[in-house]
Structure 1
Amino acid sequence: MTRLASVHRVPMRHPADMAGIEALFAARAVDPAHIVAILGKTEGNGCVNDFTRAYAVSALATMLAAHLGTTPAVVAERVAMVMSGGTEGGLAPHFILFAVTETDAAPTGALAIGTAFTPEFRPEELGRMAQVEATAAAVRAAMADAGISSVADVHYVQVKCPLLTSERIAEAEVRGATVATHDTYRSMGLSRGASALGVALALGEVAAETLSDAVIGEDFRLWSGVASASAGVELTRNEIVVLGNSAAWAGGLRIAHDVMQDGIDFPAIQRALSAAGLAAPGQLTEDQRGRLAALLAKAEPSSTGRIRGNRHIMNDDSDINATRHARALVGGVAAAATGRTDLFISGGAEHQGPDGGGPVAVIVES
C-alpha cells in the first residue's frame, strides 16, 4: 500500500466554527480518523493573550473526540493542531486539514506529511539550546514519519511552540531556575527563534558549533529557509509538521518553496508557484486558483526600519504590534499573487528567512 496525502482548506466564521469540517465529514470527503494535522488562522491579535488559538484547539479536539469515540486529550496527543493568530488586512480566517490514507495506486512522487512532538518544556528551557536540540530531534522524527530521507525534499516545517507567562516564570523561579526573559511578549520571539534554529540544525542549514543560547534572537545571520514557527499560550511542548515531496507517496499534490527577501518580494511567491506547476506572469487565473491547495508564509518587519531604502513604521507603532503590520503587508502581496485571501500568513519570523523576509511554500494540485 502507498500513502496518499490530502489537503482541505475550510473557512471559519469564528475560532470554534466546526461547521465546515463537519460538512466534509458528512460528505465523506475526509475521514476524521485520517487527520494527522490541522493548521488554522484565527482572528485574534496573535500576541501573548490571544486565546482564539486555544479556543480553536479546544473546539477541534472536542469535535474530533466525538467522531473518534475518544477524549479530547487523546486527540491532542495524536493530532498536531497549529493555530496561528492574526488575520489582519484582508486575510480570511480558515483551517487547513491534512489527512493521510493508503491507496493501491502507484507512487507518483507527491506531497508527504510527517508529524512529531517534543517532550514538555520547562519554562527555563524556552528560547534556549534545550528547545533547539529537542526541536531538531523532533524534525528528524517527523521526516522519518513522512518517509523523507533527503533534506532537499523538505519544503516547509511548521512548528507550534510555547511561550512564557507570568505564572510560568514564577513557577520556575520558585524552583530556583532562571528564564530567558521576563518579557512575556519577547518570550514568543525567543521560542519561535529557538524552534526555527532547531529546524535549521536538523536540516543542515546551520552548523551545530554556531549555535548557543547567546545567538537565539540575536544573530539573525542564522536562519532556516523552510521553518515556520508560531508561539502560543495553549501548549508547553513543540508540535512539528514536516511537509515535503517523496517518491514513495501517491497523489497529485506537490509542494514547493522559496524565500522572500523582504515583505514585498512578489517574485519569490511567483517562483514558488511556478516550481509547483502554477506559472503565471501576474495573478493566478481562476483555474489556477482552484488548484492552489494552500499558501503558507512568514512575515516579519525588518529590524532596519526600511524596505528597499524606504522607511516603514512597523517597529515604531505603539498601538499596533509590528507583527500585525507585517502579516497585513505580506498577506496583501500574497493575495495579489494568488487572487485568494485564505492564506496562512504567520507573523514573527525570527531566524525564519533573512531579516525582514521569510519562507513561502505552496501546495498545488497537478
Structure 2
Amino acid sequence: MTRRAYVHRIAAASPDDTSGIEAAIAAGRIDPSGIVAIFGKTEGNGCVNDFARGFATQSLGLMLKQHMSAEAAHAVCLVMSGGTEGGMSPHWTVFERRDTDEAPAGGPALAIGRTRTPVLPFCDLGRVAEVDMVAAGVRAAMQDAGIDDPDDVHFVQIKCPLLTVQRIGEAEAQGGTVATRDTLKSMGLSRAASALGVGVALGEIGRDQIGDGRIAADWSLWSGRASCSSGIELLDHEIVVLGTSPNWSGPLVIDHAVMSDGIDIEPVRAALRRLGFAADGQLSAAERTRLVALLSKAEASHDGKIRGHRHTMLDDSDISATRHARAFVCGALAGLVGHAEIYVSGGAEHQGPDGGGPVAVIAERVIPNA
C-alpha cells in the first residue's frame, strides 16, 4: 500500500466561499476524508486586524465538519494568508492524500505531511523557544509524510500566532515578558522564529547560530524552503511539509527555487524547466494545464533598494510593506506563468535572502511519449 497526493486549486469569490470545494466533493474529485490541509489567499490587509483570515478559517471548518468528525476537521491545517493586492486572485489550494494499491512509478512523487504544535506561550513568541518548537514540529511533519532525508523537502508552510494587546497583558500578568509590545512587529518576529525553526530542522542553519538577539535581525541566516504566515486566528503552529518520496505514487511532483529579490524570476524558470516545462517565455496555455500550484514568499528588502534602485515600500505609512511586496512579486511571477492565481505570502523574515524568498512549483509529471 502506497500513498498518493492530490492538489486542487479552486477559485474563491469571497473568504467564506466554500462552494467550489463542496462542488468538487459532490463530484467525487475530492475525497474529504483525505484532506490534510487547505491554503487560502483571502482578501484583507494581512495585518493584525485581518479578520478575513479567521472568517475563512471558520467557514472552511464548518464545511469540513459536514463531511468528517469535529476532531478530524480540527486536524486539517487551514493556512490562510491575507492580502490579494494587485491582480492576485483569491483562491484555495486543497491538499489531499489517499491510500492506493498502485505502485510508485516514474520516480519520487509529491509527499505531504502535517502536524500541529502545542499552544505557544505568549512570552516565547519570537524567541528561541519558538524556534525549537517549530523545529520539532517540522520533524514530526516529515515523519507524517514518510520523508527521512531533509534534502527531499522542498517547501514547509507554517501558520504561526501573533501577539495582541490582550495576549501581552495575560503574559505580563503572569510575571512574564514578551519579545515586543508592538503587535504588528510580533507578526514578523513569529514568522522569523518559525523560519529559523525550519532551517534548523532541515539542516540549513546550525542551532548554535541562533539566539534571541539574532531573530529578525541577522539576515545572513535564512532557509530556502520556509514559508511562514502569522495570524490572529490561532495560538499554535500549523505545519505542512511538501516534498518527494519514492514511496508515494501519482503524477504530481514538486521543485523549489529561491528568488534573490522581487524580480528574480530566473531561478523559478529553472525550477519549471527541471519539471519538464519549456519556460522559454511566459508559459503557453498548454503548459499552464500542467502547473498545479505556485507558492511563494515576498519581502521588501531592508536596505530600501532593488538592484541599486530605491524603492519606497518601507517608507509608506499608509500601506504595510508586506502588502506592496505581495503585489509586486505576484506580478513578476504572473508574467512568467501566465495567470495570477498564485499563493504569495508577505513577510519573508529569514525565508530566503533579504528582499527575496522561496518559491515552490507543484506540477504534473511529464510522461514520455504521452
**Which interval holds the TM-score relative to the shorter structure?**
over 0.9
3-state DSSP of counterpart to 1:264: coil
Q: CA deviation at 1:151?
A: 1.1
**Aligned residue in 1 for 2:316:** 317
Once residues 27 and 184 of structure 1 are traced to their aligned partners in structure 2, the CA distance between those partners, rounded to angstroms, is 43
State whether residues 277 and 364 of structure 1, in contact with CA within 8 Å, keep that contact through their aligned partners in structure 2: no
Whole-Å separation in 2 of the counterparts to 1:268 and 1:52: 32
Partner of 1:31: 31
Which letter does structure 1 place at the counterpart of 2:223? S
Q: CA offset at residue 268 of structure 1? A: 1.6
Show the counterpart of 1:209.
208
Alignment of 1:76-91 (within 5 A): 76-91=73-88
* CA-CA distance at 1:266 after TM superposition: 1.4
Aligned-pair CA distance for 1:257? 0.4
* 1:233 matched residue in structure 2: 232
Alignment of 1:1-366 (within 5 A): 1-68=1-68, 70-71=69-70, 74-108=71-105, 109-366=108-365
Q: For each residue in 1:227-283, what CA deviation from the matched residue of structure 2 results, as whole angstroms up to 9, or x when unmatched?
A: 000000000001100000101000010000010000000102201211222231110
- Is the CA contact 2:65–2:73 (under 8 Å) kept in the aligned structure 1? no
CA RMSD of aligned residues (A): 0.8
5+ residue gaps, structure 1? none
Over 3 Å counting, the alpha-carbon distance change for 1:220 and 1:238 in structure 2 is same
- Output the TM-score relative to the length of structure 1: 0.98
Q: Which amino acid aligns with 1:90?
A: G
Give the letter aligned to residue 6 of structure 2. S
DSSP-derived class of the 1:38 partner? strand
Change (3 A) 1:76 1:49: farther
Secondary structure of the corresponding residue to residue 292 of structure 2: strand
**SS of aligned partner of 1:176:** coil
Letter in 2 for 1:202: A
Take 2:332 and 2:245, find their aligned partners in 1: how far apart are those partners?
30
Which residue identity is paired with 2:281?
G
Task: String of CA shifts for 1:13-57, please: whole Å, max 9, x gaps.
Answer: 000001100100110001111100000000110000001111111
Shift of 1:122: 1.1
State the one-letter code of the partner of 1:94: H
- For 1:322-364, what per-residue CA distance to the aligned partner results, in whole angstroms no more than 9, with x for missing partners? 0100001100001001001110000000000000000011000
Give, in whole Å, the separation in 2 of the partners of 1:292 and 1:355: 27
In structure 2, the residue corresponding to 1:314 is in which secondary structure? coil
Find the aligned partners of 1:6 and 1:362 in 2 and give their Cα distance: 14
Kept in 1, the 8 Å contact 2:64–2:73? The answer is: no
SS of structure 2 residue aligned to 1:197: helix
* One-letter code aligned to 2:81: S
* Cα offset, 1:75, TM superposition: 4.2
Q: Aligned partners of 2:351 and 2:130: how far apart in 1? A: 16
Letter in 1 for 2:64: L
Compute the TM-score of the two structures, normalised by the length of structure 2: 0.97
Equivalent residues, number: 363
CA distance in 1, matches of 2:166, 2:73: 23
1:77 is displaced (CA, Å) by 2.9
